[in-house]
Every structure is written in structure tokens, then in C-alpha cells.
Structure 1
Amino acid sequence: MSGASCAGYGVNNSAAVLVLFILLVIILMTFAI
């Protein structure tokens, strides 16, 4: 999946990683509360 996304997207790859990282932080904060 990651290989296909890297081949399909160039600049959008960093944006996708940013979104995933933000979602991870939100989930961790939710569990922390």
C-alpha cells in the first residue's frame, strides 16, 4: 500500500503523512484524557 501511494503521489505523500500524524496525536490525547 505504501509503495503504491509513493508511486502514485509525489507532493501529496508528505501531506498524507502529516494527516496521519495529526490523527495519531488526536487519538493519543483522547486516550490520555
Structure 2
Amino acid sequence: MSAPVGYGYGRAFAFIIVVFILLVIIGAAVVRPGGYYY
């Protein structure tokens, strides 16, 4: 907890964005499997 608040918040925000994008990609693959596997 010695790191600046802004730095920790920035990392957390970037991490959430990355996870959100991954969830969207996985969700799209599940909803439309034809576009990825066929």
C-alpha cells in the first residue's frame, strides 16, 4: 500500500478493461461459435 493512489487506481482500471475485453471476446465466441470454429 506504499504505492501512490493514482498509480494503483490506474493499474486496477487497466486490469478491469483487459478482463472486460476478454469477457466480450469469449462471450462472442460462445454466442456465435460459427464465426470462430467453422
Query: How many residues are matched?
Result: 27
Which protein has the larger Cα radius of gyration, Structure 1 or Structure 2? 2
Compute the RMSD of aligned alpha carbons.
0.9
Gaps of 5+ in 2: 29-38
Structure with higher RCO (Cα < 8 A, 6+ apart): 1
Gaps of 5+ in 1: 1-5
| TM-score, normalised by the number of residues in structure 1 | 0.70
Runs of 4+ in 1 over 4 A off after TM superposition: none
